[in-house]
Amino acid sequence: MMRKTILRSLTALVVVLTLVLGSFTTVLASESALRLAAQTADEPGVQIFTVSNPNGEDKEITWGDVNGNITKQDVVPAGGSITLRYPDAQMQGVRIYVSYTLNGAAKTLYAIGANKYNITIKYMSGGVELQSQKHAVSGNYTHTAPATLTSSGKTYELASASSQTHMFGKSSTTMTFEYKEIVKQPYQISVTYVDTSDTRLGGATLDVAVDATVNHDNPKTLSVNGRNYQLMTGQPSSISHAYGTATRSYKIYYELVQEPAATAYNVNVQYVDGSGKLLGYKRVTVPVNETVNIDIPASIATANGSQYNRASGEPATITHAFDNTKRTYTVRYDLAVATAPYEIRINYLSSANGATLATETVTVNLNSTATFEAVSSFERDGTTYYLASGQNRNIAHAFSNSQRVYNFYYNVQGQEESSYAVTVQYVNIADNSILYRTEQVVSSGGSVSFDLPATYTVDGTEYKLVSGQEQTIDHAFYLPRRVYSVFYQNAADNTENVVITDNTTGVTTIITPEGTTTVVTDGEGNIVEATEEDLVDILDNPVPAAAGTEPEDDGGDVVDIPDSEVPAAAAEQPASQAWIWWTVAGAAVLVAGGILWIVLKKKKAAEAK
């Protein structure tokens, strides 16, 4: 029983497998349709079609035109294709059919001829083909070849006619254009500067080397026939031309600069000694379209009272016309030699601010030496002042000495510092910005020195020391200043600026071709406009007794110095100081009398015992 059941199951399985395999075989035997397509012919007078067979077996076909003019049989190989050529001399067009069997059933395909054929276009040079291309046409066709072309890194230009026309049924299906190689040569380009009406203002011719690039900067401004022009907004500031660029000429536009109305301006006359050191200056305004005569003084006095005479050969008058572009004149002076008795002035100044506290004068007799000893202290308006440390109290002034003013500095009792910092800052004269700062500490009785460079570079810009300033700053402890401003200007700026600084007060006079500005440096190092009371004439600035040249404030009063605070008499006493020495002598007599009275009283007391 079991065996029969198994036999039945196997029989059923065989039947199922037979059905499945039969169905699979049927699927595998199914055929794909052929493909018919029109193509572009390689010659006129024929229509070209292709028939493709994607199947694994050859296919027999019957084909012809639908009008029955042609009927043919062909075989399309398995997995391949064949070309059907249908004669059509006038290219009037044709519709063909292809009949075959597909899976045992009749099948017909249809297609219309492309009605096109290819012509070949060749670019030749000396028998060598440079380039070629095919172009599908359906009749007459005109082709224009490029003027130049590049092949294998070489450039060629057209040597034959640029255009050819193919005539259907009459012309060859190949068009040939002849080229010749271009041998590169250097050439020139032109740059023309014009105004807004295209009037030529100038220009440049530039040489362009083979395969090179030439660069040209257009000037920002032009001056032509007395008129000034500037590059118009939007115009290039430079031109860059690469070899082979089609453009060979460039036009750059400029606009007329409207000149401002003429205005008055200033000229400066600088008085210098034989070494070129500035002694003083004079500023004169030149009115519009006028000529001024500038009188040059025969003699001048400098900061320390020295007298100078105008040197031989120097003009007594300078004539300056408005259209003269010069803005600075230099006149040399020679030191005058004294020939008669004269006076020197002694100034007692505040070490805090340089103010004049008291003055004295001493007469210097002919061919003699005057001596003077400054007081160690004195009182003014209830305030006691003491001589600041580090100064030599004694003056020995020979008749031949050109100096006429001496300064001594005093501190208010109890207010002298033991030390303090002195700052030197480099200032950009263009905008008063600080380029650099440095400082040193000076102790009581001491001094510090700063060396200033002739040029200084910051952030890639070079600056130069403005004329009129020394390259060394010497600062003694007793001097009132705490900040020194040294002015620099851009090294590329050729403006003739001059800076004159009062070393006591720090008042700085900046002389430029446009005018004069007076500024001071405050305690924080800021550059501010000088007030009216700060202003000092350069020719009145005095020189200190113990250090370098120091200016003064002439606003001080002559103050009587109390008898008890005047030192003992010097060896040689000028008449102007007699009142001091008489007071000292009287005081000495009174003191001596007091001592004698005490001694005698003690003696009597002793004898009485």
- 8 A C-beta contact, residue 59 and residue 42: no
Q: Which pLDDT score is estimated for 607?
A: 47
Do the bridges between strand 187-194 and strand 249-256 make them parallel or antiparallel, or are there none, so unpaired?
A: parallel
Domain 265-335 carries which CATH code? 3.10.20
pLDDT per residue as tens digits for the range 300-359: 988 778 899 999 999 999 999 999 999 889 999 999 999 999 999 999 999 888 889 999
Distance of alpha carbon 491 from alpha carbon 463, whole angstroms: 5
Do the bridges between strand 508-512 and strand 498-501 make them parallel or antiparallel, or are there none, so unpaired?
A: antiparallel
Distance of alpha carbon 534 from alpha carbon 520, whole angstroms: 8
pLDDT at 364 over 70: yes
Distance of alpha carbon 154 from alpha carbon 185, whole angstroms: 13
Burial of 448 from C-beta contacts in 10 A (0-12 / 13-18 / 19+):
middle
pLDDT at 600 over 60: no
Residue type, 454: A
Q: Per-domain residue ranges for the chain? A: 1-29, 35-112, 117-181, 187-256, 265-335, 342-580
Confidence of residue 5 (pLDDT cuts 50, 70, 90): low
pLDDT per residue as tens digits for the range 23-77: 444 444 589 999 999 999 888 889 999 999 999 999 999 999 999 899 999 999 9
Topology of 187-256 in CATH? Answer: Ubiquitin-like (UB roll) (3.10.20)
Domain 35-112 carries which CATH code? 2.60.40.10
Looking up tokens 């118009």, which residue turns up? 232
Residue type, 517: T
pLDDT above 70 covers what percent of the chain? 82
Tell me 417's DSSP state: -
Looking up tokens 């600026």, which residue turns up? 497
pLDDT at 102 over 80: yes
Q: Which pLDDT score is estimated for 22?
A: 47
pLDDT per residue as tens digits for the range 426-439: 999 999 999 999 99
User: Rounded to two decimals, what is the model's pTM?
Assistant: 0.45
- The reply to whether 265-335 shares the fold of 187-256 is yes
**Listed residue (514, 484, 516) closest to 499, CA to CA:** 516
pLDDT per residue as tens digits for the range 390-424: 899 999 999 999 999 999 999 998 888 889 999 99
Summary mean pLDDT of the chain: 83
pLDDT per residue as tens digits for the range 125-149: 999 999 999 989 988 899 999 999 9
